[in-house]
Every structure is written in structure tokens, then in C-alpha cells.
């Protein structure tokens, strides 16, 4: 709501009995007035010679009066229900013909007393309305603030702006995820410390692997002219699956003090198997349709592992992350048994070559463009870039014999300071001692040795003019590490 210069106006209906109650109502009127609200009350505005029935009727019908406060106590209830005295006449107005003509939101019951059974002392015509309790000194301030917010039309909890429909909603086919209903069960089990929590986590991860296979493209329905568009579209359709994993991992790490890292390791092992068990995976740069159909997984695994790493770092699960980064994934298939996290980053030719050519795109990386386009509203693309570059460094350190390691395509978008955020925080010795496990070192001097060896490996490859990857020593903020306790 946009605040206007016109102050809100209200009318107060109340019982004069007992005297102490009337005093409280006048104090409330004074307090509201000091908070910028125009208060109309008989004590101030009903003068000799004026008809009280007409006065109250006018207040109810007056469009300039935003709210009518009905101050409820035992006397008000009795008089209103019996239609006796001033409030009785107002009861007649509010509950009679005018009731159906006036917006319900105009009337706000204010409870000043409760009966012996704990029910509010309120007349019948407002007994089912949502009320504000000002009867208790302990809760008065908070509830009074709610009243003021209501009058101003600025509730504490406000509906967020309406966003755009997710891309998958606009598709012809509805996406059904077998995993989505599991996350609330996992959350409840973790909060309640139930013994079956880990079983639910493992069940979720198994179902997720099954869900991945549902998106597999059948090369029989692809053709050389349009396959890149089909791959691009299928990647878009997989967005809900990615978001589901982000939701799962965030929930798991938030509500579990200890995580079962072996379960996560087996999960990555299984999704590796989904990709590499396809014989066309080994057909390399032949770029036949069977091989290109797997690009949906090449893109998705790259994206999924970026978010996995980002969330693990944000939650400071460095030890568990290191286990995933350094432990091999054993998949008995063809001529290779051992894989690692760098196998989640490989060329997606369908996008970076064929889709770019078909659409005449002058882009450095369509993959990076797609990743940027899909970043959730609560996360930052800049953080994803930093994680991508960090994995590039770690791959060179932990797997120096691998030719390509991890190529950070999102670095095409890197701007600003070259130091990675995680390492800017490591100027604190305390934080450095947390993150050092990622590099497999104990001291800052050991890190320098690792950096020098890894940088030699990275220098052997031409990464391209358009990719902004800082020198490792600079990116890891080496000179400033451990500057503070």
C-alpha cells in the first residue's frame, strides 16, 4: 500500500460502564490520535442537541470513516444483545440492514474482557469476527501495533508481489515429480528426531535418480535439423527437478546436525551411472544424435553440482563436501570404473555449438547464459560463479593427472574483485581453519605449495580470452589469509 497524506479516520463504539472501562477507552482514543489517526468518539464529537442514533448511523455509513472499533466488555455485550442504551441502538444499526451493506473489514472488535470460560465478552453480531485483544498488559503493545497497522492498511505480514509463472507451468505437458511429497516428511522426521529420518533421505535420493531417467531423450525422435531445440527444451523442463533438489538439500542441512555423507556419495555415484552406462557416452566428439541426446544430463549434472557445492559451503559443511569432492565414484562400466566430481562438467555441444549456430547467437557460452537465466530468486548468480571457479581450482589440486579437470563456464560473466568470497572470509584464521579441509592442507604454507603445483597444470591450457578466471593465488586471496584471529 502507498501511504497517502490523508490520515485514516475511525469511529469508536463503546459502553460507558464501568467508569474504569470508559477511562481505558479514552486513553486508547488518545493513543491512536497521537499515532496519526483521526478518532471520532461521542466523548469528543457528540454534542448537546445531536441525535445519538443519527450520529452512529452516519459514522457507519460515512465512507471517510475507514473503521469502526467496537470496544467489547461485559456491559457492552449485555446492552448490545438486549438492545439497551446507546450501544443497543448501535447494535441494531450494525447487525441490521446496514450490516449487509457495509464491508466486514470496516468493523474491528476490540476485546477488553473475557468470561470465566475464556470466551471474549462480545455481542452476538461480532462473536464470529476476528478480533484484537487489548485486555492483557503483557500483550497490549504487540496487539495495539497490529491494530494500528490494520487501520493504516499496513499489516506486518503482506502478500508478496505476484511473480511470473515458472517455465514448466507454461508447457503443454505437466511435470510430475515422484520426489516432491517426500521433503515435508523428511523435515518432520528431522525436527522430531525420528529414527527413520535417514531412511526417508535415502528413499528421496533413490527416487530422484529414478526421476532423472524419466527425462531421457530417445534419439529415435530426434533429427539433425532440430535436435538442439529439443535438448534446450528438455533442459527447461527439468528445472522443477533441480529446484526440488535445492529444496531437499537446504531442508536436510538446516534440520540435521549431522548428515549421512555416504548416502550423498552413493547418490552421486548413481547419477553418474545413469549417464555413463549409455554406450553413446563414450562416442566422444562424433556428435551423433545418441551422444547429443545425453547433453540434457551433461548440463543438468553441471548445474546440480554447482548448487550442491554452493549450499554446502553456505551451511559450512566443509568436511562433508571435501569427502564428496575427493572420493571416487565407482561405476563398473566398459573401460572405466573410477569417476569423480569433474565428470559432472563436460562439454554440452548441443547448446554451445549447434544451438548457437542454428540461432546465430554471438554468445561466449549458451550454457552459462542458461545457468544465469535459471538462478532461483533467493540465490545470487555471482555466488554460483565463485563456486564454479573454486571447483576449477580444487579439481587442479585434487586431480592433477586429469587433462581438463573442471572448466568454469560461468566465469564468462565474472566481474568485480578477483578474490573468491569464501576466501575473502578466510582472512580470519578461525574461518581459514574451517575451509582448509577443502584443500587438503593444515597450514597456509602448505596451501601455497598446492597452489603453485596446480597453477602449473592450469597454465598448460588455453582457457580462452572471454573467460575471466583469476590466477589461483589471487583468487584464493592467499596474501591476506589468516590476517586476523
How many Å apart are CA 139 and CA 314, to the nearest integer?
37
Which pLDDT band, with edges at 50, 70 and 90, does 408 fall under? very high
| pLDDT at residue 2 tops 50 | no
Q: What is the mean pLDDT of residues 100-128?
A: 84
Which pLDDT band, with edges at 50, 70 and 90, does 96 fall under? very low
User: Could you tell me if 132 and 108 are in contact, meaning their C-beta atoms sit under 8 angstroms apart?
Assistant: yes
Which pLDDT band, with edges at 50, 70 and 90, does 274 fall under? confident
DSSP of 351-410: IIIIIHHHTT---S-HHHHHHHHT--TTS-HHHHHHHHHHHHHHHHHH-TTSSS----GG
The pLDDT tens digits for 313-337 are: 999 999 999 999 999 999 877 666 8
The position carrying cell 565428470 is 343
Q: What is the mean pLDDT of residues 293-313?
A: 96
The pLDDT tens digits for 202-240 are: 999 999 999 999 898 887 778 888 888 889 999 999 999
The pLDDT tens digits for 339-357 are: 999 999 988 988 988 888 8
Which pLDDT band, with edges at 50, 70 and 90, does 460 fall under? low
Q: Which three cell numbers stand for residue 479?
A: 596474501
472 phi and psi angles, rounded to 5 deg? -60, -40
The pLDDT tens digits for 365-393 are: 999 999 999 999 999 999 999 999 999 99
User: Could you tell me if 338 and 308 are in contact, meaning their C-beta atoms sit under 8 angstroms apart?
Assistant: no
Look at residue 46 in the predicted model and tell me its pLDDT: 82
Q: What is the mean pLDDT of residues 303-321?
A: 97
**Structural domains of the chain ordered from first start:** 9-152 (3.40.50.10140)
Look at residue 164 in the predicted model and tell me its pLDDT: 62
Q: Give the Å distances, CA to CA, from 60 to 54, 77, 91, 123, 145.
A: 10, 19, 11, 17, 24
Look at residue 81 in the predicted model and tell me its pLDDT: 79
Q: What is the mean pLDDT of residues 37-51?
A: 86
Which pLDDT band, with edges at 50, 70 and 90, does 438 fall under? very high
Average pLDDT of the chain?
86
| pLDDT at residue 364 tops 80 | yes
Amino acid at each position: 500500500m502507498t501511504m497517502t497524506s490523508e490520515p485514516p479516520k475511525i469511529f469508536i463504539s463503546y459502553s460507558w460502564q464501568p467508569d474504569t472501562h470508559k477511562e481505558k477507552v479514552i486513553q486508547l482514543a488518545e493513543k491512536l490520535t497521537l499515532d496519526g489517526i483521526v478518532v471520532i468518539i461521542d466523548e469528543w464529537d457528540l454534542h448537546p442537541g445531536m441525535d445519538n442514533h443519527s450520529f452512529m448511523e452516519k459514522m457507519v455509513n460515512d465512507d471517510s470513516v475507514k473503521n469502526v472499533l467496537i470496544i467489547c466488555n461485559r456491559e457492552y455485550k449485555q446492552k448490545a444483545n438486549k438492545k439497551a442504551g446507546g450501544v443497543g441502538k448501535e447494535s441494531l444499526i450494525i447487525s441490521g440492514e446496514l450490516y449487509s451493506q457495509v464491508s466486514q473489514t470496516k468493523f474491528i472488535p476490540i476485546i477488553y474482557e473475557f468470561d470465566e470460560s475464556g470466551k471474549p465478552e462480545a455481542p452476538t453480531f461480532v462473536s464470529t469476527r476476528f478480533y484484537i485483544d487489548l485486555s492483557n498488559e503483557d500483550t497490549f503493545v504487540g496487539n495495539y501495533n497490529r491494530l494500528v497497522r490494520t487501520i493504516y492498511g499496513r499489516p506486518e505480514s503482506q502478500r508478496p508481489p505476484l511473480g511470473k509463472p515458472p517455465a514448466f507451468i507454461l508447457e503443454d505437458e505437466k511435470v510430475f515429480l515422484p520426489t516432491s511429497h517426500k521433503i515435508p516428511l523428511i523435515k518432520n522426521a528431522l525436527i522430531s528426531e525420528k529414527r527413520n529420518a535417514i531412511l526417508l533421505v535415502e528413499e528421496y535420493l533413490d527416487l530422484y535418480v529414478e526421476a532423472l531417467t524419466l527425462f531421457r531423450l530417445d534419439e529415435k525422435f530426434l533429427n539433425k535439423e532440430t535436435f538442439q531445440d529439443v535438448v534446450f527444451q528438455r533442459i527447461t523442463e527439468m528445472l522443477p527437478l533441480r529446484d526440488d533438489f535445492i529444496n531437499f538439500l537446504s531442508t536436510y542441512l538446516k534440520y540435521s546436525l549431522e548428515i549421512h555423507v555416504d548416502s550423498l556419495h552413493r547418490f552421486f555415484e548413481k547419477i553418474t551411472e545413469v549417464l555413463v552406462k549409455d554406450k553413446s557416452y563414450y562416442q566422444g566428439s562424433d556428435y551423433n544424435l545418441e551422444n547429443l541426446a545425453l547433453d540434457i544430463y551433461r548440463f543438468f549434472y553441471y548445474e546440480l553440482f554447482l548448487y550442491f557445492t554452493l549450499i554446502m559451503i553456505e551451511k559450512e559443511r566443509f568436511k562433508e563436501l571435501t569427502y564428496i569432492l575427493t572420493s571416487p565414484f565407482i561405476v563398473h562400466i566398459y573401460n572405466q570404473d573410477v569417476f569423480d566430481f569433474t565428470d559432472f562438467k563436460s562439454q554440452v555441444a548441443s547448446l554451445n555449438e549447434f544451438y548457437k549456430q542454428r540461432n546465430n547467437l554471438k554468445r561466449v557460452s549458451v550454457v552459462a547464459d542458461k545457468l544465469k537465466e535459471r538462478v532461483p530468486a533467493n540465490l545470487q548468480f555471482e555466488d554460483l560463479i565463485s563456486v564454479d571457479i573454486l571447483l576449477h581450482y580444487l579439481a587442479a589440486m585434487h586431480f592433477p593427472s586429469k587433462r581438463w579437470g573442471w572448466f568454469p563456464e560461468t566465469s564468462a560473466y565474472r566481474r568485480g574483485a578477483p578474490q573468491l568470497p569464501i576466501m575473502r572470509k578466510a582472512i580470519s584464521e578461525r574461518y581459514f581453519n574451517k575451509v582448509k579441509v577443502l584443500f587438503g592442507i593444515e597450514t597456509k604454507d602448505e596451501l601455497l605449495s598446492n597452489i603453485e603445483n596446480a597453477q602449473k597444470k592450469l597454465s598448460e591450457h588455453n582457457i580462452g580470452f572471454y573467460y575471466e578466471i583469476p590466477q589461483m593465488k589471487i583468487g584464493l586471496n592467499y596474501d591476506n589469509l589468516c590476517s586476523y584471529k
